[in-house]
Structure 1
């Protein structure tokens, strides 16, 4: 369970990292699309941040993730320039590939190929009157 402090920091990091990757360091991606940041999780001491990136568009996901990991120091430095008035210490950034969108697309494809027969039609019950009180005893 994350504390309010962790949630605030994670939200701030998510917004500012997106801005850093899209505006400050677009040259890292060779003119391609900057990755989306799906989630940021911060440790209780605010010393580390796990950043989950959505790398669906723009080519090989593993190569792009490795490029981001190699440039983590430059990304952290650019992030520090943006949030230096807000936080005391810029957390260490650890990047991970978030493949939940690809998994959801795969599961959607699998479910669409299933042949599920429709449920049988039930006959309406004429004795079920919604305004009628349910019987609790035999004599009622």
Structure 2
């Protein structure tokens, strides 16, 4: 169970890392790609931040994450500049691809197909 402090720091990291991506993301993965921070989970000792990202406007989402991991020191430094008044130690960053939105669209598409097939099946029975 997350403590109140973990939730506070996670929200702080989420807000500030989003701003870092707005400022420096274009240099790392290009201006046509959109990256959104969907969630942050902090370790109990607040030393590790698991950052979950959604990637849009590209088919190769994992490549964008790998490009960001290559520039992780730069991203962490920029995050540290924003967090230095709020935390004693800037957490290590671990990036994860959050594909829940893609899964939602896939499941929704399956339901739509089932609904369409079901509607066709009832018309044939009449």
TM-score (norm 2): 0.87
TM-superposed CA distance for 1:109, in Å, is 0.1
Instruction: Give the aligned CA root-mean-square deviation in angstroms.
Output: 1.4
Q: Which runs of 5+ in 1 are unaligned?
A: 118-140
1:82-118 deviation per Cα after TM superposition (whole angstroms, max 9, x unaligned): 111111100000000000000000000000111447x
Deviation, 1:73, is 0.8
Q: Which runs of 5+ in 2 are unaligned?
A: 120-126
Cα deviations by residue, 1:26-79 (Å, 9 ceiling, x for unpaired) = 311222234100010000000000001001323410110100111111100000
User: Which has the larger strand fraction?
Assistant: 2
Q: Say which one has the larger Rg.
A: 1
Q: Which moved more, 1:50-59 or 1:100-109?
A: 50-59
Where does residue 33 of structure 1 map in the other structure?
33
- Counterpart Cα distance in 1 of 2:55 and 2:8: 24
After superposing on structure 2, the runs of 4+ consecutive aligned residues of structure 1 that deviate more than 6 Å are: none
**Higher share in helix:** 2
Indicate the structure whose relative CO is greater, using CA pairs within 8 Å and at least 6 residues apart: 2
Q: Distance in 2 between matches of 1:9 and 1:2?
A: 11
Q: TM-score, normalised by structure 1?
A: 0.78
1:61 corresponds to which residue? 61
What is residue 123 of structure 2 aligned with on the other side?
A: none
